[in-house]
Amino acid sequence: MKKVTNPILRGFNPDPSALRVGDDYYIATSTFQWWPGVQIHHSKDLVNWHTVAYPLDRVSQLDMNGINDSGGIWAPCLKYHDGLYYLIFTNVMNFSGLFKDVHNYMVTAPDIKGPWSEPIYLNSYGFDPSIFFDDDGRAYILNMLWDYRSKAKVRGKFAGILLQEFSLSEKKLVGEPVNIFRGTDLGVTEGPNMMKKDGYYYLFCAEGGTGASHAETVARSKNILGPYEVHPQNPIITSVGRPDLKLKRCGHADVFDTPDGDWYMVHLCGRPLTGKDGSPCSVLGRETSLQKIEWGEDGWPRLAGGGNSPFETVEVPDLPEHKWEKCPETDDFDGETLGIQYQTLRKPLPKELCNTTERRGYLRLRGTESLSSHFTQSLVARRQQAFRCVAETCVEFEPDSYLQSAGLVVIYDSTAYHYLRITHDEKLGKCVGLVSNKDGEYYLPLDLNETLGGAERVYLRAEIDYEKLNFSYSTDNKNWHGIGGTLDMTVLSDETNSCGGFTGTFIGLCAQDLSGLKKIADFDYLTYKELE
């Protein structure tokens, strides 16, 4: 047996849904407001993974224009049945306050790489939908139920798990939804996944909330409609009560088997840093780990190795090693299209605003709205996936006004980022400066600018070392000048976001033009180098 080190999907890769088709393993993860929607990862050996597809790549499938930060895609479910891949997902339009505006859909494809179908609308009762195919040929949709009226202290507004039959021939829900499970005393019952084994329907649920109290519980029944008995040793995985663990926030799981009959579970986790006030801060976002599970003589699943705490290293089958070509550390933007590692915010950017063809060897961005916008941002970014890393770019940009900016951004969402930008000042002319936003408040002076002396090309660098970020710039790629001092990376995390964030840190290139003139910024390359 070989071993793999967790997390297997580092950086912002939460809410895993796992699937095996033959000798291929797939994991779908949430993307929230980042476009395209749903990231699918592929492995042949359970050790080496790569991004293989973003199924929701058309606005007709996914319309997120204007949604709040951390809205959009929540907890997708990926299944395979009778030669067809099924992807079930929520598009969260609003989750603030008392109400949740959540719409659940299904898309299908004969090939994991697509093209994927236009969506079939399912319901809007609650989020985290999944699909289950019974051995009698019937199919069912499950999702949590949101009851905005509830004042219950334990389960709160998480009112249970709904199940409703889905007609595969008619491609629609039929019959009435039934609340089959109201959860355990951990509360916050969500993320339902169902499987059938040895005559039992097993219902896996995320509970406890996706923070420090997160957990995965299991219930089972001989009848799909229940009643469901709960696992005698719930939760089957959690990090609660174990401050020594590297993997925190463990829960939201899914299980799958191997051709040889071994069983594994993927689950959400986090590796929080410590903020200035001593609180945890998950800068990389919620990640995905792998655990081996065993089925006891009593028919219940448990972690192989005992207990319910996550293991940092896990044995995997001795399959032939299958490595994938990695994204190069430096992207010179020589291709016709952007690499699969990049995403934009809420929607695709038209070629007018973002392309690599107008000027060969450069990413050309035309400035649009500010980093606060929930509509059109000229921003292209990739995940930060290591605590220690360096990002660097070179930009050619000639601003005429303080309303025009372009540069290198380290961003969590529209309320949390550090931005090293080129702009224009009436006294300094073309200059370089910083904008830092913490929870919607700017905490560096907006006039902290240094003149560039008319330099045509400006090099920008971000050096990240766990909770510290240092920016620097150069006009000759030899002499580098630090700017702004050491910045706090821990402000870029779920835990420091008062609006309730669920994403992770991205490193991106962006351009703004608040005059509406769409000033051009040309980026020669982007280097992302991990140091650990």
Positions annotated as catalytic residues are 15, 190
Task: For residues 85 and 353, give the distance between their C-alpha atoms in angstroms, rounded to a whole number.
Answer: 33
Q: Collapsing DSSP states into helix, strand and coil, what is residue 422?
A: strand
Q: CA 79 from chain center: how many Å?
A: 19
Contact assessment for residue 235 and residue 214, using Cβ atoms and an 8 Å cutoff: no
Task: For residues 214 and 249, give the distance between their C-alpha atoms in angstroms, rounded to a whole number.
Answer: 5
Contact assessment for residue 460 and residue 407, using Cβ atoms and an 8 Å cutoff: yes
Q: Quote the tokens at residue 133.
A: 């195919």
Contact assessment for residue 109 and residue 118, using Cβ atoms and an 8 Å cutoff: no
The CB density around residue 8, as the number of other CB atoms within 10 Å, is 22
Task: For residues 311 and 300, give the distance between their C-alpha atoms in angstroms, rounded to a whole number.
Answer: 19
Half-sphere exposure of 487 (CA within 13 A, CB side): 29
Q: With CA atoms as reference, report the closest residue to 16 among 206, 183, 283.
A: 206
Q: With CA atoms as reference, report the closest residue to 184 among 141, 222, 213.
A: 213
Contact assessment for residue 52 and residue 113, using Cβ atoms and an 8 Å cutoff: yes
Task: For residues 46 and 23, give the distance between their C-alpha atoms in angstroms, rounded to a whole number.
Answer: 10
Task: For residues 201 and 437, give the distance between their C-alpha atoms in angstroms, rounded to a whole number.
Answer: 48
Task: For residues 251 and 128, give the distance between their C-alpha atoms in angstroms, rounded to a whole number.
Answer: 14
Contact assessment for residue 89 and residue 72, using Cβ atoms and an 8 Å cutoff: no
What is the residue type of 220? R
Phi-psi region of 15 (alpha: psi -120 to 50; beta: other; left: phi over 0): left
Q: Quote the tokens at residue 301.
A: 């699943």
Q: With CA atoms as reference, report the closest residue to 39 among 49, 51, 48.
A: 51
Q: Which residues pair with 410 in a beta bridge?
A: 418, 507
In what order do the strands lie in the sheet containing 263-270?
248-257, 263-270, 287-295, 301-303
